[in-house]
Structure 1
Amino acid sequence: MEGLFEGLGAAALIILAIVGLAVGWVAGAMTGRSKALYAVIGAVAAMATPFVLAALGVTALAAGGLLLILVVGAVGAALVVALIRAIK
């Protein structure tokens, strides 16, 4: 897991935040709800997803490179935004 922290770096976290913001913004626009709230939730979820998967032992994520991490972050953000939408 420490290798993932070292490998990600600040630039990857910023890119993950931007991807999560975009996913949340689109979800907010599609549902007609608060775009800013969904964007923040998406950004947090996108940044947290790779770390959660690394903590669960998914080691292929670190070997897949930045593109795989971004895809996983986008999927994680979409799932969390959908879950928040379903709860509300």
Structure 2
Amino acid sequence: MEEFLQGLGMVAFTLLVLTGLVVGALAGALTGRSKLLYALIGAVAAIATPFLLAALGITVLAAGGVLLVLVVGAVGAAVVVAIVRAVSRRV
């Protein structure tokens, strides 16, 4: 896990946060719900998804580069935002 974090770097980490914020804000705008809340949920999910996959032993992310990490983060953020939306109708 430490090797993955070192390989990821601060630039990729910042890009993951921005990707999650954009995905969450778009989801909030499309559903007419709280854009800020969805943006925060998306940012946390985008950061957590590559780390979760690395902890599960999926190491192809390190070889795929920053673009693959960003795609995985965006997909993870979209999935988590959709799950939150489905579970909680009030948000």
TM-score (norm 1): 0.97
Identity of aligned residues (%): 67
Q: Which runs of 5+ in 2 are unaligned?
A: none
How many residues in Structure 1 have an aligned counterpart in Structure 2?
88
Shift of 1:10: 1.3
Q: Please report how far the alpha carbon of residue 2 of structure 1 lies from its aligned counterpart in structure 2 after TM superposition.
A: 2.2
* In 1: Cα distance, 2:51 partner to 2:79 partner: 16
1:59 maps to a residue whose letter is T
Match of 1:13 in 2: 13
- For structure 1, the 5+ residue unaligned runs are none
Deviations, residues 6-26 of structure 1 (Å, cap 9, x unaligned): 111111111000000000000
1:44 equivalent to 2:54? Answer no
CA distance in 1, matches of 2:13, 2:86: 27
| Distance across 2 between alignment mates of 1:80 and 1:10 | 23
Report what 2:84 is aligned to: 84
Structure 1 outlier segments of 4+, above 6 Å: none
SS in structure 2 of the partner of residue 4 of structure 1: helix
- CA distance in 2: counterparts of 1:13 and 1:81, whole angstroms: 19
> Could you tell me which amino acid in structure 1 is paired with residue 51 of structure 2?
F
Q: Aligned partners of 2:2, 2:34: CA distance in 1, in Å?
A: 36
Q: CA RMSD in A?
A: 0.6
For 2:57, what is the secondary structure of its paired residue?
Answer: coil
Please, what TM-score do these two structures have when normalized by structure 2? 0.94
Q: What is the alpha-carbon distance in structure 1 between the residues aligned to residue 63 and residue 3 of structure 2?
A: 10
- Amino acid in structure 1 at the alignment position of 2:55: A
| Alignment partners' CA distance in 2, 1:3 and 1:43 | 22
